[in-house]
Chains A and B, each alone.
Chain A
Amino acid sequence: MRKLSVLTLVVVLALVVSAAGAALARQNVEITLMGWSSSTEENDALLAQVAAFEAANPDISVNVQLVPEYDTTIQAAFASGDSPNVFYVDSSKLPDWAEAGVLASGEGMIENLDDHYESLLEAFTYDGTLYCPPKDFSIMALQYNKDMFDAAGLDYPTPDWTWDDLRTAAEALTGENEAGQKVLGLVTPPNFERWLPFLYQAGGSVLNEDWTEVTLDSDEAREALEFYIGMVNDGIAGPPSMVDAGWGGEAFAQGRVALAMEGNWVISYLVEQFPDLNWGVTELPRHPAGGQASMVFTVCYGVASNNDYPDESWQLANFLTGPEGSQLVAEEGFGVIPPAISAADTWLEAIGPEIGEGFLAGAEYAHKWQFPVGFQDVFDTFNADLQLAFEGQYLAEDVIIDTIGVAEEVLAR
């Protein structure tokens, strides 16, 4: 009898323990966060943010997946109905993903709206719906090689530089380096988004406000494109490949160009890999009539519409983009700017104000990098034509006519 009761006790205890375990397990929710892999510092900062979130929410554990070939991977995940709960969304991809219905609406779910830049929230609003809180952003600015400016006896660029100043400086800085290699004044990648600031500075636009009409057929567009192509045809600027580089930042880092127009992603690249480079940064030059513009490239934390744990997902997205999460990123002081306005000062301090302010200043007037679904066709046509124009085979007018034709076709689809 005694033996039996001990056994009963053991069995009952075991049952209680396992039931409690099951209850705990039910509470402990695992959500998946998918993004692309960046620099080690940036990945570490994300992991630190996630650790802080898990510490504050012991019942939620986050499975972080930083994958290569992100766009392909996540598209396959969407298509198979196996979407991660929270994931990176580039502002240029937002229209496609919103149209496809894989993004949950962020209306009423996103916290700390006051602490976010208006221009960023606008970049994640599609068809009147705000989808996701911005994760970070990068703004195009003008980087200059101080040593090359000193050697040429030129003053450093300032925020009130105009296109004419840019041209004059690029002309003076074009030449050869000690190794006899060609050095260009300015690097001009043959990409639509690199030319867009010039279009916006000149007062032009690609589409009308509600994306129903193509507005490229304008004097402003022609002026901006002729300026961009003209510098290449005159031999004072060129694409990165002309100076043996894969991208503008590399051309600049290797001293093969004196000026570049990259975003703040270039900071960690230059600081870590080229610590000896003596460089500065300021805002993009203005149109001679005074027009100021830049581009903002930004990413948000989207929440899946097909989601077992929507509440926990929003909790994570809000934490990562909120004041506390932003501070964690800002303190690290690498390239990208944290999304919360309250964290801007911390970021500036960590990155060094001379560098940081040149980029951050553009947040006021930068345009979002976002176009309607299917506009990839337009970018590809423009970029291909622009390369031919750089080679002198196309005129600015040819590029504009081609681009308008494709853009109108895409809008009519």
Chain B
Amino acid sequence: MAQPQVLARPKVTTMAAKRRQEALTGYMFMAPALVIFLVFLIIPIGAAVYLSFTDWNGITPVFDEGAYEQVGLDNYRDLLLGEHTEADGRVVKATTRQRDFFISLKNTTYYVLGVVPTQTLLALILAVIVNQRWLKAKGFFRTAFYFPSITSSVVISIIFMWMFTRGGLINTTIGAVFSGYDSNSFVNWLDDPRGVIHIILEQFGVTRANVGDWASNRSLGLTTWEWLSGPSVTMLTIMILNTWTTIGTMMVIFLAALQNIPSSVYEAAAIDGANAWRIFRQITVPLLRPTTFFVVTLGLIGCFQVFDQIYVISSGGPAKTTLTVAYMVYQNGFNRSAMGLAAATAIILFVIIFAFTLLQRLFVSERANV
């Protein structure tokens, strides 16, 4: 259809106007994502920060008058110092909150120290294996290794619970292999609060009773002996579970990076006479450094926030040895009617994760510069 040309007046557009127009179009395209980001991320984060300075119980409708009072830094003082002072000068003890917080921090730290290196290393090894040319049925192995990552963590946790009960698959299998390991000496994987380091020390005859008085020194609500417990047997079970489920994702990331390394580099090394181990050490690992940083960062964040496996398997028990910081946030918010405290716990967790990520970034980039 021919439009009457005379009616269409040519628009006089300056460069600036055109740019504005383009920017507007750009923002329009971004709008859906921006709105979601704002509504489901920025506003909740802001709300959490705000609520961490209140004593909101998490039950009274939050917009009701008098639903909460401003308490300043009291929630943070409770968690970190174990007490706060009311406006009238009365000192309110919160030793339990402090103790629980540092117990959860200790448990989470052992968890992170155990899981992150293990899963990174195993994922790298698996990625290198499934990347080999000689490997038959690559597709099968890649799927098999990746499968745990895409299965619901609740389902996997329940299956693990069955495997690790006292009379379950794991114990029976070990019992079938080692004759001394019978049903009376079975490890109670899911309900054993003893620390792994404590158990190992005990094998060498080192116990709380004979180690000396320094072990009884208290810092931040816990004795030195308690700080050095290591993860409990139950926590170890959850660590094994989580390592196994996350390896797949990490492996896929490593695999993508491995396939990005040009084969010419390997060929050059082979011509220079490097053996397989040397190629791995001096070509593969250094070239994967950015990926390793990414994988470790993801692992750190994920591990610090571990929640669902704890919720399903142990609810923080036995004897609070699987109480993690993220689980404590949930407990404070929903079991103890202390949403303000829960928000403060979450903010501290955020600060910790942020600090670790920065630290690790510093570490990795320094190494890269050498």
Query: CA separation between A162 and B100, bound complex, in Å?
Result: 38
Q: Mark A396-412, 1 if CB is under 8 A from B, else 0.
A: 00000000011001101
**Is B72 interfacial (CB-CB < 8 Å)?**
no
Report chain A residues within 8 Å CB of B59.
75, 78-79, 96-97, 100, 102
0/1 interface trace, chain B 156-192, chain A, CB 8 Å (1 if under): 0000000001111000000000000001100010111
Contact with A along B43-76 (1 / 0, CB 8 A): 0000000000000011111111000000000000
Chain B residues lying within 8 Å of A387, measured Cβ to Cβ, are: 191, 193, 317-319
Helix, strand, loop or mixed for chain B's interface?
loop
Q: How far is the CA of A75 from the CA of B338 in the complex (A)?
A: 12
Stretch at the interface among A214-222, A277-285, A373-381: A373-381
**Chain A hits for B147, CB < 8 A:** none
Check A100–B337 contact: CB distance below 8 A: yes
Report if B334 contacts A (CB, 8 A).
yes
Contact, CB under 8 Å: B95 / A101: no
Write the A67-99 contact mask toward B (1 if CB under 8 angstroms, else 0).
Answer: 000011001001111010000000000001101
Contact status B166-A243, CB under 8 Å: yes
Does residue A239 face the partner (Cβ distance < 8 Å to B)?
A: yes
What is the CB-to-nearest-CB distance from B164 to chain A, in angstroms, rounded to a whole number?
10
Interface contact A373-B337, CB-CB below 8 Å: yes
Asked whether A79 lies within 8 Å of B60 as measured between CB atoms, the reply is yes
Indicate whether A125 reaches chain B with its CB closer than 8 angstroms. Answer: no
How many residues of chain A get a CB closer than 8 Å to chain B's CBs?
A: 43
- Inter-chain contact B93/A385, CB cutoff 8 Å: no
Please report which residues of chain A, range 365-389, place their CB below 8 angstroms from some CB of chain B when the two chains form the complex.
373-374, 376-377, 380-381, 383-385, 387-388
Q: Is B335 an interface residue (CB 8 A)?
A: yes
A391 sits at the interface (CB 8 A): yes
Q: Report the bound CA distance from A236 to B194 in whole Å.
A: 21
Asked if A181 and B183 sit within 8 Å, CB to CB, the answer is yes
Q: In the complex, how many angstroms separate the beta carbon of A141 from the nearest chain B beta carbon?
A: 25
Among B96, B320, B334, max chain A CB count under 10 A is at B96
Are B334 and A409 touching (Cβ within 8 A)? no
CB proximity of A181 to chain B, nearest CB, Å = 6
Residue A306 is within 8 A (CB to CB) of chain B in the complex: yes
Instruction: Tell whether A244 is near chain B: CB-to-CB under 8 Å.
Output: yes
Q: Is A168 an interface residue (CB 8 A)?
A: no
Q: In which size bucket is the chain B interface?
A: 35 or more
- Which of chain B's residues 61-116 have a Cβ closer than 8 Å to chain A? 61-64, 92-97, 100
| In the complex, B278 has a CB within 8 A of chain A | no
CB-contact partner of B63 in A81, A99, A242, A412, under 8 A: A81
The reply to whether A241 and B188 form a contact with Cβ atoms under 8 Å apart is yes
Q: Is A2 an interface residue (CB 8 A)?
A: no
Known contacts being A79-B61, A182-B184, A244-B166, is A409 close to B319, with CB within 8 Å? no
- Residue in B57, B64, B320, B336 whose CB lies within 8 Å of A81: B64
Taking the complex as formed, is A128 at the interface, i.e. its CB lies under 8 A from any CB of chain B? no
Closest CB of chain B to A193's CB: distance in Å? 15
Query: With A and B bound together, what is the CA distance between A376 and B338 in angstroms?
Result: 11
User: Does A26 have its Cβ within 8 Å of any Cβ on chain B?
Assistant: no
- Establish whether residues A244 and B336, one from each chain, have CB atoms under 8 Å apart when the complex forms: no
Residue of B nearest to A256 (CB): B167
Known: A181-B167, A409-B95. A101 touches B337 (CB 8 A): no
**Which chain A positions have C-beta within 8 A of B63?**
81
A190–B192 alpha-carbon span in the complex (Å): 13
5 further contact pairs, Cβ within 8 A, besides A75-B59, A100-B337, A243-B166 = A79-B58, A244-B166, A381-B96, A384-B319, A393-B193
14 contacts between A and B (CB under 8 A): A72-B334, A75-B334, A78-B60, A83-B61, A97-B59, A101-B60, A102-B60, A244-B165, A374-B338, A384-B193, A391-B194, A393-B194, A409-B95, A413-B92
